[in-house]
């Protein structure tokens, strides 16, 4: 089966790739499952605009009626954001969604896979998935997919609802560098501190681009660029920890399992925090989009398996 027939690239992404201009991938589970309407559509559009202002083309990735979208036209973004029952698509779910002509938001894992095939090298998200607390062997496919795909993923650490030391151990096992953006400490999504250390540190987006290029030349896969959220939006650890405990307990009592865990717990934390966590979430997403664009402008373009880039002059 020809690869290209499953994909649809937005006009903006096509034109950027033809010219060898930088592109930044954005995930869509945050749109379909992470944020309430209408904040979800607004945030998605704001992230795209921040990427553009940073000199790169945004490629919001998702699946609409079985088509893998790499970059969405405005109506497509709207349709996905307003879908009544979108699927949450991790890597394992992509083929089924395409074959069954379903729609859904792609997680970090699935977005990484699609972005890599399209030759995109930088990706902005909120917080990656990872090793869950108290749940035997619930480990997000975000981690294994990160290990395999040659992309820089800009995030505010891993979601604070997770087992953060366990997540960092797993990333080490998988050979994924965890690089702090102007910090030694691994950020904890809603808060700037976790008490845990990154494996490395850079002071600028340009330095990160050089590090990534070197990692790839040496045979490495994905890298995390962990950027703490802006100080005025950050929540104190002691404050958020209590809400997370309650939310995790509620999930257990309700018997929430598998793919439903992350969206359930994040939504519950948002309710308990009176939207303080939602505000932090929006702030860190936008912050990461800006940094991702800057990293992308410092990387030289490459051709994906879709073969859309003309040969470099």
Determine, following the binding rule CB under 6 A, whether residue 33 of this chain makes contact with ligand PSU.
Answer: yes
* Residue 159 annotated in active site: yes
Determine, following the binding rule CB under 5 A, whether residue 48 of this chain makes contact with Mn ion.
Answer: no
Nearer to Mn ion, 239 or 252 (CB): 252
Pick the binder of ligand PSU from 22, 58, 126, 221 (CB under 6 A): 126
How do strand 104-106 and strand 57-64 relate by DSSP bridges?
antiparallel
Q: Which stretch binds ligand PSU (CB under 6 A): 6-14, 29-37, 72-80, 207-215?
A: 29-37
Distance CA 155, CA 25 (A): 12
Distance CA 111, CA 191 (A): 25
Determine, following the binding rule CB under 6 A, whether residue 34 of this chain makes contact with ligand PSU.
Answer: yes
For the bound state, the minimum distance from the C-beta of residue 197 to Mn ion, rounded and expressed in Å, comes to: 25
Determine, following the binding rule CB under 6 A, whether residue 141 of this chain makes contact with ligand PSU.
Answer: yes
Determine, following the binding rule CB under 5 A, whether residue 142 of this chain makes contact with Mn ion.
Answer: no
Give residue number: closest CB to Mn ion: 138
Distance CA 202, CA 177 (A): 12
Helix (H) / strand (E) element for 78: namely: helix 74-82
262 binds, among ligand PSU, Mn ion, none (CB under 5 to 8 A by kind): ligand PSU
- Alpha carbon of 303 to those of 21, 22, 94, 120, 309: distances in Å? 12, 12, 22, 8, 5
Nearer to ligand PSU, 33 or 113 (CB): 33
Distance CA 68, CA 83 (A): 16
DSSP assignment of 122-185: EEE-S-B--BBSSSTT-B-HHHHHHHHS--EEEESBB-TTB-HHHHHHHHHHTT--EEEES-SB
For the bound state, the minimum distance from the C-beta of residue 138 to Mn ion, rounded and expressed in Å, comes to: 5
Pick the binder of ligand PSU from 30, 115, 151, 224 (CB under 6 A): 30
Residues found near ligand PSU in the complex (CB under 6 A): 27, 29-30, 33-34, 90, 107-108, 126, 129, 140-142, 259, 262-263, 266
Residues carrying an active site annotation: 27, 159
């Amino acid at each position: 089966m020809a690869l290209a027939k499953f994909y649809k690239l937005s006009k903006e992404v096509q034109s950027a790739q033809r010219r060898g201009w930088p592109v930044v991938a954005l995930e869509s589970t945050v749109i379909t499952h992470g944020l309430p309407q209408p904040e979800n559509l607004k945030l998605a559009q704001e992230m795209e605009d921040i990427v553009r202002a940073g000199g790169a083309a945004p490629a919001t990735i998702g699946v609409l009626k079985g088509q893998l979208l790499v970059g969405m036209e405005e109506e497509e973004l709207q349709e996905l954001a307003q879908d009544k029952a979108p699927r949450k698509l991790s890597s394992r779910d992509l083929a089924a969604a395409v074959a069954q002509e379903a729609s859904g938001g792609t997680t970090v894992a699935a977005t990484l896979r699609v972005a890599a095939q399209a030759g995109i090298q930088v990706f902005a998200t909120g917080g990656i998935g990872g090793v869950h607390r108290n749940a035997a062997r619930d480990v997000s496919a975000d981690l294994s997919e990160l290990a395999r795909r040659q992309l820089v993923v800009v995030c505010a650490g891993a979601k604070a609802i997770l087992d953060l030391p366990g997540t960092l151990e797993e990333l080490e096992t998988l050979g994924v560098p965890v690089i702090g953006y102007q910090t030694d400490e691994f950020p904890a999504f809603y808060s700037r501190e976790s008490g845990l250390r990154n494996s490395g540190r850079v002071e600028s987006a340009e330095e990160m681009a050089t590090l990534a290029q070197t990692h790839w030349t040496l045979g490495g896969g994905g890298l995390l660029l962990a950027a703490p959220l802006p100080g005025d939006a950050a929540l104190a650890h002691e404050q958020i920890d209590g809400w997370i405990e309650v939310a995790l307990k509620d999930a257990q009592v309700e018997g929430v399992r598998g793919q439903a865990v992350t969206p359930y717990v994040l939504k519950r934390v948002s309710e308990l925090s009176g939207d303080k966590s939602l505000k932090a979430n929006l702030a860190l997403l936008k912050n990461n989009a800006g940094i991702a664009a800057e990293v992308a402008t410092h990387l030289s373009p490459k051709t994906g398996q879709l073969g859309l880039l003309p040969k470099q002059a």
